[in-house]
Amino acid sequence: MKHCIRLPDETYEFIKGEVAFILKKCNIRCIPVSGFEIATKLKMKLRPYSALDTIQKAAAMKISSDGFFIESDEGEYIIFYNDDKSYARINMTLLHEIGHCVLDHGVSAFGNTDIEEAEAKFFAKYIAAPPPLIDKINPTSVDDVADWFCLSWEASYIAFNYFKKWKSVRRHRDAKDYELIIENLFVSNNNIRKRLTSYHESLQT
Ligand SMILES: [Zn+2]
């Protein structure tokens, strides 16, 4: 993965707005945020590397060991992802590729510019664990973020620090529009917990 460049503040604000728009459009109301669910709701096709034949898989690995997307002749977006990776990593890959699609970047199979990479990376980081949602679980450690948002330890560490920075600023300003949209989708702490509890209960019955 390339080292990320710093984008203009307006770009970060724009991407946060796009994240809120996508969460709302896909009616995502509980965590962890799933790249599989969002891709499916956006009518993108998903293809694991394990479904490819040997030659195709070698070609896919040459493009990226994580994943990439292409646009078919019919205008369909198809995301290819390496399903040998951990769930947390696969989910981040899907969110990253969804970011490239949503932000109207060129198909990543042909390579993206450093700016496009930085934008998609930020999109994935923000949608996987938006600070207004991290706030709802009231985390005391990186592990809390990892547990609730199903992120790798490294991604949780970055998200937790980003959250703490956000929290210190958020106290002194009003909520942004995109923050209100995200907060309203996840109505309350109870809402998130109840949904997760009922999900776990449904697994047990
Ligand atoms: Zn990319």
Cis ω for the linkage preceding 48 (within 30 of 0): no
pTM tops 0.95: no
Q: Is residue 17 part of a domain?
A: yes
Q: Can you give the residue range of the structural domain that contains 181?
A: 13-204
Distance 82 CA to ligand 1 centre (A): 14
Q: Is residue 120 part of a domain?
A: yes
Instruction: Say how many domains are in the chain.
Output: 1
Averaged pLDDT, 165-178:
95
Cα separation, 196 vs 199, whole angstroms: 5
State yes or no: pLDDT of 152 exceeds 90. Answer: yes
Least confident of 44-53, 112-121, 191-200: 191-200
Q: Is residue 8 part of a domain?
A: no
With DSSP H G I counted as helix, E B as strand and the rest as coil, what are the percentages for the chain, rounded to 5? Answer: 65, 5, 30
pLDDT of residue 197: 54
Distance 69 CA to ligand 1 centre (A): 9
Of 185, 42, 37, 182, the C-alpha closest to 100 is 42
Judge contact between 67 and 80, C-beta under 8 A: yes
Residues, CB within 5 angstroms of ligand 1 (ion): 108, 117, 120
Cβ neighbours of residue 95 closer than 8 Å, sequence gap 6 or more: 33, 35, 38, 123, 124, 127, 128
Distance 96 CA to ligand 1 centre (A): 6
Q: Is residue 5 part of a domain?
A: no
Q: Is residue 47 part of a domain?
A: yes
Distance 172 CA to ligand 1 centre (A): 34
